[in-house]
Amino acid sequence: MDRLSQLLRQLPQVDELLRHPRLAEVVAPLPRSLAAGVVRRTLAEIRQRLKAAAPADLPDQLDDEALFRELEQTLEAAARPSLRRVINATGVIIHTNLGRSLLAMECIERLIEAALFYTNLEYDLARGVRGSRQDHLEGLLRELTGAEAALVVNNNAGAVLLALHTLARGKEVVISRGQLVEIGGSFRMPEIMVVSGAILKEVGTTNKTHLHDYEKAITSETAMLLKVHPSNFRILGFTKEVPLPELVELGRRYGLLVVEDLGSGCLLDLSRYGLEKEPTVQETLKAGADLVLFSGDKLLGGPQAGLILGRREVVARLRANPLTRTLRPDKLTLAAMEATLRLYLEESQAVAAIPTLRMLTRPAADLEREAQALARKLRRRLGDRVQVKVVPSQAQVGGGSLPLAHLPSRALALNVPPLAAHQLEARLRQAQPPVIARVEHDIVLLDLRTLLPEDHGALAAVLERVVKGIGSRE
């Protein structure tokens, strides 16, 4: 018999493996049929690999230890939820790929209550008749922003689509060339415009758009002047944008709606915390926009949602659009959003309790202290197998907010010999829980601005396992 056939014969049977004491711990949590499927697929993969290998590369004996390790890994992976916690050490606060904003602790109780019990989601308790799920947030949003009316949908992309579809389908929307943004690859203003049925009228140039550019574009077919916050980029140098009040004045003169897509949706004046000034929702409404649209999970720091605030008649038109039904937020979103908005009733409470705001406003001196403490902890626990140094770093806001803001931060520069930076980065990313680090100039950095106090212990444990794994895996 040739070597390949011999090796294939040495592979154990599925049943044998499922009963094997070595795998008992990883098999136990899985339903029998699922575990059997995983083992079968893993064996099939190993068979494939053996068949594909050059005869000279085939081992004499099947490596039992490697076989069990692979089975352990695939069985463990099958038991793990797909969507799960990671440690964000990137320093990017509103990291879209890592779930954007974390919810405040105050949201959790509301989420649990809304999940485990029936609620008055669409029930008017005073009158005993059907109510609207929108009623739970509208009062708060009006109180916080001075808006006449509010509508909450699934996300801001949906809010933009809904506004264009309701107010400008078959009509023209005038927008500056400098504001035709793409956000996160799949949201592009010109494409949303097409889907909504509105007709895009670009005016001005990439860097400069004047009021007369807007005015010249207005025809009997125009329905809306749209301003879009250039969330994730800035045009620097010789630039000109028309301030909202001037656009509002022009809109009034021609009887056109003026809508601003603010993107981030900041309710606080961030310049009070040493950050770049973002136009707040309140200011935008005050400047006279008919509608203001923004995300719930960017600078607001709440759950994913699209918030639509503005004039009563305009919001009422949006509500009456059947498309609104397809974009409705679920009860968990509403519960978390209400809890988040309530925190804003007291600014100091919002900044202290909403993780996005807390991370944004933490002084660098705090981060320095925390970085030193964490570095000491890691050195104590791991000795000289891990080299840790505290270095200055630049964190970012992320989520297409304040793209130029570099938040002074501190990072741990990690070196775990003999691993190269990209190897260490990969080991951290594939650990449990995964640690998402940044690599700069071939150095692995863990930025303190996005690390949570709860992450410190888990991070130390992950590093310990990485260090242990070096001996056994190489």
Ligand X SMILES: *Cc1c(COP(=O)(O)O)cnc(C)c1O
Cα angle value 330/332/338 (rounded, 5°): 105
Of 228 and 445, nearer to ligand X (C-beta) is 228
Chain position whose Cβ is nearest to ligand X: 263
- Nearest-10 Cα torsion for 394, 398, 403, 408: -20
- The residues facing 446 across adjacent strands are 412
Phi-psi region of 265 (alpha: psi -120 to 50; beta: other; left: phi over 0): left
465: tokens are: 């396992």
* Contact yes or no for 151/324 (Cβ under 8 A): yes
Closer by beta carbon to ligand X, 123 or else 187: 187
Nearer to ligand X, 134 or 333 (CB): 333
Pick between residue 26 and residue 302 the one whose CB is nearest to ligand X: 302
DSSP H/E element including 381: helix 364-382
The whole-angstrom separation of Cα 182 and Cα 190 is 9
Q: Which residues bind ligand X (CB under 6 A)?
A: 155-157, 160, 181, 183, 187, 228-229, 231, 261, 263, 295, 306, 400
Shortest Cβ distance from residue 304 to ligand X (Å)?
6
DSSP H helices in 197-311: 211-217, 244-254, 281-286
Q: Residue 167: name the closest of 245, 230, 232, 261 by CA.
A: 261
Give the shortest CB-156-to-ligand X separation in angstroms: 3
Identity of the residue, 204 or 400, whose beta carbon is nearer to ligand X in the bound complex: 400
> Residue 160 or 162: which CB sits closer to ligand X?
160
Whole-number minimum distance, CB 328 to ligand X, in Å?
A: 15
SS3 content of the chain, % helix, strand, coil (to 5): 50, 20, 30
d(CA 402, CA 277): 9
- When the beta carbons of 157 and 334 are compared against ligand X, the nearer one is 157
